[in-house]
Structure 1
């Protein structure tokens, strides 16, 4: 190891500065929040140099986080961020080679990995920020599907049922219609509704239509809004778009220490195996909680996502138990956009 050394706080700041070119501001804030807890841990124990750290200190930090009774996914996120910090310190000869391997990153059960099958708000924002600013990925099926699924909170059956005629970019609306027997909404005619979407979502859909959409009718002669080479996409295609579009390695380092170039999970048929990818139901779950926290009243959210208020209270209302929700303005859904909401 060289004579150069860094304090934990300096190491954190230097690490974050190196990641600015490849991460969104939201992702950087997530890293900063996770690593600041480690910095405070070190300062409380008078650990002033990264080179003074031992394997015991790393294990004590994990024990300290476990004592805080945080969610398993949060604990894993903290330890992954710490390992990435130490990997960086290795690369600049501040800590010994392979010291980062001493970090005990917890292995989660399948139920813990799913995090109640919810795409977290910060993850959704980081992904959507990336897609909107990427020339290559803007308007891809993965992007367009994520925009609609997140900002509306609809089911997969709703996405699949949308036709071109159901999209009105001038009014900024999507109309969900039950057209049995070929495309069905879960609650049939009771699930029909018109929902407002923001200008950003309209832009994503318009880009998808101009660049990506295959101009083909389905077997009933209808023009699907989201269309594939064979016509209206199957459920498995929608699932693949969601799994591939929510993989964190699209925008940042793999939290599971895999290389995107060689990882099987980046292939369509294996994307669902990625522990950090999310199904459309997980996007819907995260969206419902997020919409409630943005001030939409529960009756409005229930209509947008086609669910009973009682169901939302039982399964999605936890985050808002102690929140005061403001009254809905008439035009709020046309302005509802993840880019305009920050903690």
Structure 2
């Protein structure tokens, strides 16, 4: 970003963003983002915003109110979770606009997400793929191969339980074949929830293997656990507890950690959330379970069959459909369109 804004119409900026995203995401994700951002461009037209340089925090606040009242153009009461999903897409779009000098730096941080009832958040929260992509991009840039980077990437790309990640050993990774073997080993304190039925081999991408290899070679504490095994993820005392790994995943999500920035008006040093006991309260973080739920939702949105997703994440199709599939009816329809055409 040069610091000098260059005039651009909202619709042109949306087209530039979608042109960038199309080869990066699944077709269903692309069309969902296109729908959301087209509505944003339509709103800009109605409000007379011909140049994104003129976008302000006050105008974005008006857009939030617009979504809460009229988003579905006929349904005057969209759920807070739906509004939050739409605003998350706009926020990522505005990050792109900052990079191309279309809006002032920090404009994306002015997108205010709606308050959600704690019970609704617990039941419905999941990590959105755009937010996961942003976190991974920042971790790759600033903390490549760190425990935060390796653990977050593996959690997101495998949708594995925290107990599964804790039970992995260095030897479970086959870097030559890009595979990770998950085993039930209760006799040495690393059982799987579904016991032998949860054992599986998970295929990994080159990028994931590269991150794990970097972590093992340069950042992993070279220790064994009390049974003489070599844990993949370690502390100086051996295999970490689940609570330690949960803390690592929360830390990886903190904007003040991965981006040296705070969108919540806190100072970096004195931030109340940047402590071991408070990280989970940061509005920018979700529970490790919600990372798993988001990973499952991303796989399904990419058109991967439910059976394959269930096998990878070790869950039945009934559990997957009832508790982990966070896609909206429209997003599900877009996936089906890939197989059946018009719907």
For normalisation by structure 1, the TM-score amounts to 0.71
The 3 A distance-change label for structure 1 pair 223 and 54 is closer
For 2:144 and 2:313, how far apart are their aligned partners in 1?
25
- Partner-residue secondary structure (3-state), 2:299: helix
Q: Which residue of 2 aligns with 1:209?
A: 216
Asked whether the equivalents of residues 9 and 52 of structure 2 are also in contact (C-alpha less than 8 Å), the reply is no
Bigger radius of gyration: 1
The 3 A distance-change label for structure 1 pair 123 and 45 is closer
For 1:179 and 1:54, how far apart are their aligned partners in 2?
56
Q: Which residue of 2 aligns with 1:19?
A: none
Q: Which residue of 1 aligns with 2:243?
A: 236
- Partner-residue secondary structure (3-state), 1:195: strand
Q: Which residue of 1 aligns with 2:192?
A: 185
Measure how far apart 1:81 and its partner are. 8.9
- Partner-residue secondary structure (3-state), 2:247: helix
Measure how far apart 1:244 and its partner are. 0.7
For 1:283 and 1:318, how far apart are their aligned partners in 2?
12
For 2:93 and 2:132, how far apart are their aligned partners in 1?
22
The 3 A distance-change label for structure 1 pair 219 and 325 is farther
The 3 A distance-change label for structure 1 pair 32 and 141 is farther
- Partner-residue secondary structure (3-state), 2:277: helix
Asked whether the equivalents of residues 166 and 239 of structure 2 are also in contact (C-alpha less than 8 Å), the reply is yes
The 3 A distance-change label for structure 1 pair 199 and 275 is same
Q: Which residue of 1 aligns with 2:66?
A: 64
- Partner-residue secondary structure (3-state), 1:275: coil
The 3 A distance-change label for structure 1 pair 290 and 46 is closer
Q: Give the number of aligned pairs.
A: 299
Q: Name stretches of at least 5 consecutive residues in structure 1 with no aligned partner.
A: 17-24, 93-99, 328-343
Measure how far apart 1:189 and its partner are. 1.0
Aligned Cα root-mean-square deviation (Å) = 4.2
Asked whether the equivalents of residues 117 and 282 of structure 1 are also in contact (C-alpha less than 8 Å), the reply is yes
Measure how far apart 1:171 and its partner are. 1.1
Q: Which residue of 2 aligns with 1:161?
A: 167
1:125 to 109, 121, 133: 133
1:73 to 63, 69, 84: 84
In the TM superposition, what are the counterparts of 1:33-52 in structure 2 within 5 Å? 40-46=42-48
Asked whether the equivalents of residues 224 and 238 of structure 2 are also in contact (C-alpha less than 8 Å), the reply is yes
Asked whether the equivalents of residues 294 and 326 of structure 2 are also in contact (C-alpha less than 8 Å), the reply is no
What do the CA deviations read for 1:287-325 (whole angstroms, capped 9, x no partner)? 111112223222121111110112112223453632239
Q: Which residue of 2 aligns with 1:108?
A: 116
1:261 to 269, 272, 276: 269
For normalisation by structure 2, the TM-score amounts to 0.71
1:300 to 304, 308, 312: 308
Q: Which residue of 2 aligns with 1:172?
A: 178
The 3 A distance-change label for structure 1 pair 91 and 262 is farther
Q: Name stretches of at least 5 consecutive residues in structure 2 with no aligned partner.
A: 17-23, 72-77
In the TM superposition, what are the counterparts of 1:299-338 in structure 2 within 5 Å? 299-317=307-325, 319=327, 321-322=332-333, 323-324=335-336
